[in-house]
A and B are shown apart, each in its own frame.
Chain A
């Protein structure tokens, strides 16, 4: 499990838009992260994490997964690569997380072609699924 500064070794984002505070680990095709919603989160409004914050959290979970794969392929010293959201499909946000709640997101890499990775994401609060989507990430060389 990685937290705080360690996560910066996996993703290029920095405060105040770091949207994962815990990375639980990755397998060949999966990754899992967490985020506790704080009141000063830049994506919070009216005590809730807005849709963009949920999507950003999912995208950064995918980025962290790619960060782990990058280190496995190119060595521990390799820096996180810049990435971009190419497309989001089948997105469903059931409800918005409230301040104080903890999100956990599971991502599964379903296909990869060159620098493009297609991932399925599910975000939960406890056992309750609050969001899911298919996300396509493009990563720079």
Chain B
């Protein structure tokens, strides 16, 4: 899967799961602020990454990811 494919898939999935417009999901945007993530909803992001990309991760790893660009990089590194 190319970086562009990952980006497109992640944006579509996040927009649907967290009910935001895809247009607000940009590489430099802050994930927690944009998706209004809190300690309860962080688990949704972990589940989504696992279900869609087969990546087993945890809250500690995901908490370090600040922007959507970093999330694309994180997923790319895990499926490479």
Range for the number of chain B residues in contact with chain A: 10 to 19
A28 within 8 A of B: no
Q: Which residues in chain B, 42-75, are within 8 Å of chain A measured between CB atoms? A: 42-44, 46-47, 50-51, 58-59, 62
Majority-rule SS of B interface residues: helix
Q: Which residue on B lies nearest to A117, using beta carbons?
A: B43
Instruction: Looking at the assembled complex, report how far the CB atom of B27 sits from the nearest CB atom of chain A, in whole angstroms.
Output: 24
Range for the number of chain A residues in contact with chain B: 10 to 19
A78 within 8 A of B: no
B4 within 8 A of A: no
Query: Which residues of A have CB within 8 Å of B44?
Result: 111, 118
Across the interface, do A138 and B40 meet the contact criterion of CB distance under 8 Å?
A: yes
Across the interface, do B39 and A118 meet the contact criterion of CB distance under 8 Å?
A: no
Chain B, residues 15-31, CB within 8 Å of chain A (1/0): the string is: 00000000000000000
Instruction: Looking at the assembled complex, report how far the CB atom of B61 sits from the nearest CB atom of chain A, in whole angstroms.
Output: 10
Cα distance A106–B58 in the bound complex, in angstroms: 24
A113-B58, A118-B43 given. 18 additional CB < 8 A pairs? A86-B40, A87-B40, A110-B47, A110-B51, A111-B43, A112-B46, A112-B58, A113-B39, A113-B42, A113-B46, A113-B59, A113-B62, A116-B42, A116-B43, A118-B44, A118-B47, A136-B43, A138-B40
Closest 6 CB pairs of A and B: A113-B59, A111-B47, A113-B43, A111-B46, A86-B40, A118-B43
Residues of A within 8 A of B (CB): 86-87, 110-114, 116-118, 136, 138
